[in-house]
């Protein structure tokens, strides 16, 4: 168990690839119940969707070979040939149609992924390779939405039922599921004999190690090959051992949202106060000293590589004088006290970032108390739109579409129970949601980003993407659509 072996032994093929993630998908192999991570980490090894995001974050075909927009409400997808499910049955337009028909059925609409496709009214299989989507309203991000719709084997789905399927999922991915929890607590995947992308290493064990320290210790003792989410200050130990570090380019924007709707008389209802707080924090120090440069300062609600990101907007400079001046202008020369609710443990170093923020804000007279809440409590307030505090953690999350619009809609009157509702933004948001011309749409989104910057609806912090640490002797590791592409990994 000590250290990593030097030369790959003859039985190297039998040695599993050992991967540590933080969590397992709560719904096991049912890929429709939740969206994004942690499901993606496992599901994308077992299933493929029609589209994925490439190394630059652009949406590209995957199980489709190409797609085109035939009109505002009509899309044609040409599917890849010769793809089979792990059951041996062929994947084609007819089986894909069956999956989409379920997703847009009443039952499917109760799932999170089905709900994503609510604008789709009908799916038709023109022939074995051609799939036509007809939408109720124009949906410029339909290809983006399809990155989350995993192509399950419809026959297995039907025969096993949702619950049976969640235990024994069948997809077109490089791996098939052997065991959800072996005697070591790991998810075990083995090569899918029918895979259209056969894996380099035929056996994978995925360990859900939620505790940071135990991931670190297991990695340092050579019990793991690929480890997710370590603390930046510990990376030196890994560099010294020859590990490589890969950061996901699909970053989300860590931020505290201002509940302006619920606190119309609070200082934070004044845009100058919101701007002042943004000027008061030293993002560069947080980014460089605490996160060692892994999470750059955020400038807007989307990271570069996200469609609609506006490269002309720069992060707020650290300018405590300006912050104080703005506070004085707004009528708070002595500062004020406020409170923020945070959910902790979702990314490393969060407590340190909070402590530093508190310190920076105190320097301009703003006394910010941090109140830690459970996620279940947070989501209740989020849904009811009834926030107990003036600020709360809310990332500008462009996943799963990798498109700047989605988080903007959260910060708007379009949200069911809004916390920040500026009616002047509504027309732009609605237009961006319907605009089918890519260039015009990008311009609209960049314009919106500027508008949001002026209104400062959140205290922007950093751009954060998950970090993957890979042991020496492994090559080919890549992260796409937020998940590692394990099939590419080989022992060199």
Partner 1 sequence: MTGVVSRLLAPLKASPQLALGAAALLGWVLLLALSGLLQTHDPQFGDLTERFSPAGTAGHLLGTDNLGRDLWSRVLSGLPWSVGVATVSCVLALLVGGTLGLCAAQYRGYPRTIINQLVDATLSFPGLVAAIIIVAVAGRGFWPLSITLGLLSWPVFARIVYAESLRLLAQDYVTAARVMAVSTPRILLGHLLPGLRPVLAVVLTFHFADMLVAESALSFLGLGAPLGVPTWGALLQESRDFLIVAPWLMVVPAAAIALLVVSIHLLGDGLSALDRARR
Partner 2 sequence: MRRYRRDTTLVFSGLAQRAARLLILLLGVNAILFVALGLAGDPALMLAGEDPTPELLESIRAEYGLDLPAWQRYLVQLGRMAQLDFGVSLFTGQPALAMALEQLPGTLLMATLSMALTLITAIPAGVWIGQRPEAASRRVGAALTAVAQGIPGFVMALVLIQVFVVRLGWLPSLGYAQPAAWILPSISLGFFLAPKLCRVVSAGVAEAMQEDYIRTARANGASMRFILWREALPAALPAAVALIGTQFAFLVSGVVLIETLFLWPGIGLLLLYSAQNLDFPVLQAICFVVAVLVFAVNSLADALLRLMDPRLRPTTQ
Kindly state whether residue 209 participates in binding partner 2, applying the rule CB under 8 A.
yes
Q: Which does 208 bind (CB under 5 to 8 A by kind): partner 2, partner 1, none?
A: partner 2
Cβ nearer to partner 2, comparing 19 with 286: 19
Contact yes or no for 145/50 (Cβ under 8 A): no
Which residues between 151 and 170 bind partner 2 (CB under 8 A)?
162-163, 166-167
368: β partners: 338
First to last CA, the chain: 20
Residues of span 81-120 touching partner 1 by CB under 8 A = none
Residue 415 binding: pick among partner 1, partner 2, none (C-beta 5-8 Å cut-off by kind): partner 2
Q: How many CB atoms lie within 10 A of CB 12?
A: 12
Q: Using CB under 8 A, which residues numbered 327 to 346 contact partner 1?
A: 342, 344-345
Q: Which of 213, 379, 436, 450 binds partner 1 (CB under 8 A)?
A: 213
* Two tokens, residue 5: 């072996």
Is residue 370 involved in binding partner 1 (CB under 8 A)?
yes
Question: x/- site string to partner 2, residues 406 to 445, per CB under 8 A?
Answer: ---xx----xx-----------------------------
In the block, which residue shows the tokens 């002042």?
Answer: 276
Is residue 367 a contact point for partner 1 (CB under 8 A)?
A: no
Binds partner 2 by CB under 8 A, chosen from 5, 14, 105, 221 = 221
- Which residue, 372, 397, 380, 369, is CA-closest to 465? 397
With CB cut-offs between 5 and 8 Å by kind, which of partner 2, partner 1, none does residue 183 bind? partner 2
Task: Pick one of 371, 417, 434, 440: the residue that binds partner 1 (CB under 8 A).
Answer: 371
Residues 6+ apart with CB under 8 A from 214: none
CA atoms within 13 A on the CB side of 226: 27
Tokens for 289, please give them.
């000293």
Q: Is 66 exposed, middle or buried (0-12, 13-18, 19+ CB in 10 A)?
A: exposed
Tokens matching residue 133: 């989507």
Which is closer to partner 2, CB of 22 or CB of 69?
A: 22
Among 358, 413, 431, 473, binds partner 1 (CB under 8 A): 358
By CB under 8 A, the count of residues binding partner 1 is 32
The entry of partner 2, partner 1, none near residue 122 (CB within 5 to 8 angstroms by kind) is: none
C-alpha 205/C-alpha 203 separation (Å) is 7
- Tell me if 52 sits within 8 A of 62, measured CB to CB: yes
Q: Which of residues 347-406 bind partner 2 (CB under 8 A)?
A: 374-377, 379-380, 382-383, 397
Of 388 and 440, the one with the shorter C-beta distance to partner 2 is: 388
Best CA proximity match to 48, nearest among 26, 80, 20, 16: 80
Two tokens, residue 237 = 């130990």
The neighbour count for residue 33, using CB atoms within 10 Å, is 17
Between the alpha carbon of residue 104 and those of residues 82, 115, 322, the distances in Å are: 26, 8, 52
Nearest CA-CA partner of 177 in 43, 34, 16? 43
346 near partner 2, judged by CB under 8 A: no
Q: Which of 18, 44, 274, 356 binds partner 1 (CB under 8 A)?
A: 356
Binding site for partner 2 (CB under 8 A): 1-3, 26-28, 30, 33-35, 106, 109-110, 112, 115, 162-163, 166-167, 181-186, 207-211, 213-214, 217-218, 220-224, 374-377, 379-380, 382-383, 397, 409-410, 415-416
């Amino acid at each position: 168990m000590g250290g990593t072996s030097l030369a790959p032994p003859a039985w190297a093929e039998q040695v599993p690839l050992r991967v540590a993630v933080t969590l397992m998908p709560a719904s096991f192999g049912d890929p429709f119940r939740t969206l994004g991570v942690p499901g993606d980490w496992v599901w994308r090894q077992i299933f493929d969707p029609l589209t994925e995001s490439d190394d630059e974050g652009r949406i590209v075909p995957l199980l489709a070979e190409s797609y085109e927009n035939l009109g505002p409400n009509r899309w044609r997808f040409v599917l890849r040939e010769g793809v089979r499910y792990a059951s041996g049955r062929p994947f084609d337009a007819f089986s894909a149609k069956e999956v989409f028909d379920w997703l847009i059925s009443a039952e499917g609409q109760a799932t999170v992924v089905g709900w994503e496709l609510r604008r789709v009214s009908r799916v038709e299989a023109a022939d074995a390779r051609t799939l036509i989507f007809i939408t109720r309203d124009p949906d410029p991000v339909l290809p983006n939405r399809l990155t989350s719709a995993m192509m399950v084997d419809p026959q297995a789905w039907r025969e096993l039922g949702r619950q049976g399927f969640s235990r024994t999922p069948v997809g077109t991915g490089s791996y098939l599921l052997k065991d959800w929890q072996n005697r070591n607590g790991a998810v075990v995947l083995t090569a899918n004999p029918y895979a259209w992308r056969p894996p380099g290493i035929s056996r994978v064990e995925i360990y859900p190690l939620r505790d940071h320290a135990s991931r670190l210790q297991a990695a340092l003792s050579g019990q793991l090959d690929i480890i997710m989410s370590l603390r930046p200050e510990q990376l030196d130990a890994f560099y010294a051992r020859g590990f490589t570090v890969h950061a996901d380019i699909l970053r989300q924007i860590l931020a505290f949202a201002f509940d302006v709707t619920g606190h119309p008389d609070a200082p934070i209802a004044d845009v100058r106060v919101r701007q002042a707080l943004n000027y008061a924090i030293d993002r560069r120090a947080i980014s460089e000293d605490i996160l060692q440069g892994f999470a750059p300062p955020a400038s807007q609600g989307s990271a570069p590589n996200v469609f609609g990101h506006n490269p002309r907007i720069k992060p707020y400079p650290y300018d405590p004088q300006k912050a104080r001046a703005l506070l004085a202008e707004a009528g708070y020369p002595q500062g004020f006290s406020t409170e923020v609710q945070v959910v902790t443990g979702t990314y490393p170093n969060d407590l340190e970032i909070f402590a530093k923020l508190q310190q920076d804000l105190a320097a301009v007279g703003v006394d910010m108390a941090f109140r830690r809440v459970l996620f279940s409590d947070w989501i209740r307030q989020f849904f009811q739109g009834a926030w107990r505090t003036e600020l709360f953690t809310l990332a500008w999350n462009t996943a799963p579409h990798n498109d700047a619009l989605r988080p903007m809609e959260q910060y708007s009157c379009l949200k069911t129970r809004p916390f920040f509702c500026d009616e002047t933004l509504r027309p732009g948001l609605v237009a961006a949601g319907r605009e089918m011309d890519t260039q015009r749409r990008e311009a609209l989104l960049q314009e919106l980003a500027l508008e949001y910057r002026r209104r400062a609806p959140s205290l922007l912090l950093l751009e954060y993407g998950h970090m993957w640490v890979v042991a020496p002797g492994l090559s080919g590791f890549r992260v796409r659509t937020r998940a590692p592409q394990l099939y590419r990994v080989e022992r060199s």
